[in-house]
Amino acid sequence: MGGLEQLKEWVEESSNIVFFGGAGVSTESGIPDFRSVDGLYNQQYDYPPETIISHSFYKKHPEEFFRFYKDRMVFTGAKPNAAHRVLARWEEEGKLRAVVTQNIDGLHQAAGSREVMELHGSIHRNYCTRCGRFYGLEEILAMDGVPRCGCGGTIKPDVVLYEEGLDQGILQKAVSYIRHADMLIIGGTSLVVYPAAGLVNYYQGNKLVIVNKSVTPVDNQADLVVTGKIGEVFSKLMEE
């Protein structure tokens, strides 16, 4: 695993790390990503995943949307892996300022991270589209088919679907953290989903690190590329 020693040294020196991650951060927790060969996009469904998890599909075919969503996007048994745990520890130690994630699984918070910008929302928050009442994950999973509120409205997960915009407040906060970071570590993301992928352009420092299993479009801009599984790489960082 080339570059590990360099990464270790930079982490030791740093007090303002920002981490920006995606689905690859949670694959070692048993949640499939979208674009690996065994990821969601390569499994067989009547429609491609990006069609099913779009706003128009959700409106037109809510039954099918929730069938896919509950079956393929919610993994209740998943536990944080070493990558989530190390990031939480760095925050505790005052090395890391924030985690910016495209994931919706809540595993960073489960590991103890506090400053987490969830660009694409979370499966753990659900709201009635009519009266706004809040529902937790367990409650909607216990409902068959399309989850409905007592008022008759549909309950929608607080997850950003394709065709929907990102929360501007969260995006601005993420931009600000990245702009001021002394080190930006990007991990487990194919960096192809916009506008999230464009965040890397706000980084102004000289320690841009990519930790990913496969090549990304920003490898050539990076100061260091570590190729490997992020949970394994991060566990090695903690070894003496």
Catalytic residue IDs: 120
Chain contacts with ligand NAD (rule: CB under 6 A):
22-24, 26-28, 31, 33-36, 39, 102-105, 120, 188-190, 193, 212-214, 229-231
Q: Which is nearer to ligand NAD, 148 or 173 (CB)?
A: 173
Considering beta carbons, is residue 103 or 135 the nearer one to ligand NAD? 103
Shortest distance (Å) from residue 3 CB to ligand NAD: 14
Smallest distance, ligand NAD to C-beta of residue 218, A: 11
3-class SS string, the chain: CCCHHHHHHHHHHCCCEEEEECHHHCHHHCCCCCCCCCCHHHCCCCCCHHHHCEHHHHHHCHHHHHHHHHHHHCCCCCCCCHHHHHHHHHHHCCCEEEEEECCCCCHHHHHCCCCEEECCEEEEEEEECCCCCEECHHHHHCCCCCCECCCCCEEEEEECCECCCCCHHHHHHHHHHHHHCCEEEEECCCCCCCCHHHHHHHCCCCCEEEEECCCCCCHHHCCEEEECCHHHHHHHHHCC
Q: Smallest gap, in angstroms, from Cβ of residue 35 to ligand NAD?
A: 4
In the complex, minimum distance from the CB of residue 89 to ligand NAD, in angstroms, rounded to a whole number: 18
Cβ distance to ligand NAD smaller for residue 23 or 174: 23
- Cβ closest to ligand NAD, residue 22 vs residue 147: 22
